[in-house]
Amino acid sequence: MNERPWPLGAATAIGSLPGTDPVEAASIVFGELPEFPCLPELPARGVGADLIGRTAALLVDLAVEVVPSGYRVAARPGHDHRRAVDLMSWDLDAVQEAREKAGAAPPVFKAQVAGPWTLAANVELQRGHRILTDRGALRDFTSSLLDGLAGHVAELKSRVGAPVVLQFDEPSLPAVLAGDLPTASGYGTVSAVPAPEARELLSTVIAGAERITGQPVAVHCCAEKPPISLLRAAGAKAIAFDFTLLKGASPAQLDEIGEALDSGTTLMLGLVPTADPGVPVALRDLVTPVFKLVDRLGFRREILAERVVPTPACGLAGATPEWMRRALTLSREAGKAFLEPPEGW
């Protein structure tokens, strides 16, 4: 397995973008992030275009439908499931078209899906309880997801002509660990999942994804305090999180980051605001805090080009088209600044 299939100084995006046109979105991603493009997600298209719907569309022998409370396991594939499958098919066509217009294949391509705990936290069983409350159902969905990813990755590789890195999005993981998810009745919360149990399932999925892709696996968590040590222990070779939330971080949090860098883990640092802040944004202001962090942790600055991939702070679905392009440009320029820091920075 190639421990770092992306070039030094490369940047990427988290996944979601504004708008509803997959052809335009794919063209922008290949143009702005030529060294590490990703499969665009366009949740503004509605049901089936969001993270959970897209991931559920990949499941093998399992289907979901939309009910008033969200996604629920269905007895058989229906309209909602077919819509999600169709949306993904259009996205793959758009990516192939963008790749052909770009000419040469990129060094690597990234695709995003919901991680096992986020999927299990946001899909209900037919009786209304979350999948994560039923260990048998959790195993079935995990196995189905890996089966679906095998076909998804194979198709992406054939269309893009590049190695595929999978990114598991786990925005619900902190709530799963803390026991903060409401029950079906709304009067209580689902019991917290012990960290060793959460780590074991993640480890199973990450190892399975590595076997499918032959590439390192990334896990993204946009929480204020992402469980970096748990993700690293589960086998994630790259961890994506919102760097802008680290202001005032505790020494323990900083130690986790230092240990991750020291172990060879790649950090996908969310540096660029997800929406136009209304004031000019200078590249130097975005990257200087990262230089200061590695200085404080005692690392040489060259480590940034080797083990840091700049990204927007999170998904860009809520951005204006103008800011989305600017955010991707700034991410790419941040990667080059890490590779060749301007004098005086």
For residue 16, being part of any structural domain is answered with no
Residue 151 lies in a domain: yes
Quick one: the chain helix, strand, coil %, rounded to 5?
Answer: 50, 15, 35
Q: Helix (H, G, I), strand (E, B), or coil: what is residue 89?
A: helix
DSSP letter, residue 38: B
Mean pLDDT, range 88-111, rounded to an integer: 96
Going by C-alpha positions, the residue among 5, 152, 32, 156 that lies closest to residue 94 is 156
pLDDT at residue 240 greater than cutoff 90: yes
- Give the CA count within 13 Å in the CB-facing half-sphere of 17: 31
Q: What pLDDT, on a 0 to 100 scale, did the predictor assign at position 24?
A: 97
State yes or no: pLDDT of 345 exceeds 90: no
pTM summary value = 0.96
Q: How many structural domains is the chain composed of?
A: 1
Distance CA 169, CA 162 (A): 22
pLDDT over threshold 80, residue 248: no
Q: What is the pLDDT of residue 210?
A: 98
- Domain extent, residue 265, equals 22-339
pLDDT band at 225, cuts 50/70/90? Answer: confident
Is there a domain that residue 345 lies in? no
> What digits encode the pLDDT tens for the residues 45-92?
999 999 999 999 999 999 999 999 899 999 889 999 999 999 999 999
Going from the C-alpha of 290 to that of each of 230, 235, 286, the distances in angstroms are 22, 24, 8
Please say if the pLDDT value at position 1 is more than 80: no
Q: Are 271 and 313 in contact (CB under 8 A)?
A: yes
Residue 113 lies in a domain: yes
| 6 inside domain | no
Is 295 inside a domain boundary?
yes
The more confidently predicted of residues 196 and 2 is 196
Q: Provide the percentage of residues in the chain whose pLDDT is more than 90.
A: 87
Which tokens is 56 given? 């559920």
Look at residue 4 and tell me if it is in a domain: no
In a domain, residue 15? The reply is: no
Query: Domain of 228: which CATH number?
Result: 3.20.20.210
Q: Quick one: average pLDDT of 174-184?
A: 91
